[in-house]
Amino acid sequence: MVGNEKEDSLRSAAETFPPLRRFVAAEARLAAWARGGPAARLYVYEFLRFGFKQAVACVFGGLMVALMVATHYLYPKGATLARYDFLFLAALAIQAVLIATRFESLAEAKVIFIFHVVGTIMEIFKTAQGSWIYPDAAFFRIGGVPLFTGFMYAAIGSYMMRAWSLFDFRFLRHPPLWQVAGLAAAIYVNFFAHHYLPDMRYVLFAACVLVFGRSWIFYRVHHSWRSMPMLLAAFLAALFIWLAENIGTFTQTWLYPAQKAGWTMVGLPKLGSWFLLQIVSYALVALVRRPEAPDEAPVEASRARHAKRLAAR
């Protein structure tokens, strides 16, 4: 655990977001109350704080998933404005509100726009290959791809940018950025090339292990530092995206060929695809954010917790 003096000197990540800044003082009093009681109280507080930070980081993606569910059940059939077009305009409105409230900076919005472009290009190609379809009509579209779909990829970028700040990411033994960029480029190319050439995903999985196998991510829930292998972090993020994708197909926002006759869960191989896409997404963010190494305090804190766990066995 980091010493109290070091803990108290750390700036709350909420101060970087104007909508949350007004709550910093009240939250600090709550944190002091949690630290002043039994250990269980602090663990509960950190668990709730972790969930709140994740909710803030996921706000754009969460709203998009909520809109998919709501429009599936409530959007009037035969409406003049098609459901997909409503989703597109709603996504634009959400983005505008996030920028207007300074919840998202213009610099962050530019990075998220890159996600939108990268995702839309892949969508156009994949739908042309019949990998999945969008069954409804849309005015705002390119080929068979409604333009709201790019925002689903942008939601991943939005989450990563926000989580990086909220959890104050630091990285131990982070690979050189040229390796990360090269791996991401190879993964992205394979999403297209495997339709014509042998699928190299297993080679790419092995490359992910070689590049990130020794890397750890350090993050702050409150003042104490936690850590996990970067590959585990990528897998957990991919798992939640895979669950969101199941919601997307259940609401018939898009469908895979096997789901045309009736909904079934998206197969586990897609989880591997999302894991690889996480590496591409991370590379785009890392090239902008420039990963920093942790100072000695979080590293020593992590080692101390690990030694404590080993001693308890």
List pLDDT tens digits, range 178-203.
999 999 999 999 999 999 999 999 99
**pLDDT at residue 30, rounded to an integer:** 75
Closest CA to 123 of 248, 231, 288: 248
**pLDDT at residue 36, rounded to an integer:** 75
Higher per-residue pLDDT: 260 or 118: 118
Task: Report the C-alpha gap between 65 and 276 in whole angstroms.
Answer: 21
Task: Report the C-alpha gap between 70 and 92 in whole angstroms.
Answer: 17
Percent share of the chain, pLDDT over 70: 86
Please state which of the ranges 1-15, 155-169, 198-212 shows the lowest mean pLDDT: 1-15
User: Residue range 52-74: average pLDDT?
Assistant: 92
- In the three-class reduction of DSSP (H, G, I as helix; E, B as strand; rest coil), residue 141 is classed as strand
- Measured in whole angstroms, how far is the alpha carbon of residue 229 from the centre of its chain? 16
Residue 147 has pLDDT above 80, yes or no: yes
Residue 313 has pLDDT above 70, yes or no: no
The angle subtended at Cα 33 by Cα 28 and Cα 39, nearest 5°, is 120
Q: Who's near 12: CB < 8 A, 6+ residues apart?
A: 24, 27, 28
Closest CA to 265 of 248, 246, 245: 246
**Where in the chain are the domains?**
58-312
**pLDDT at residue 268, rounded to an integer:** 87
At 252, which helix (H) or strand (E)?
none
Q: Model's pTM, two decimal places? A: 0.83
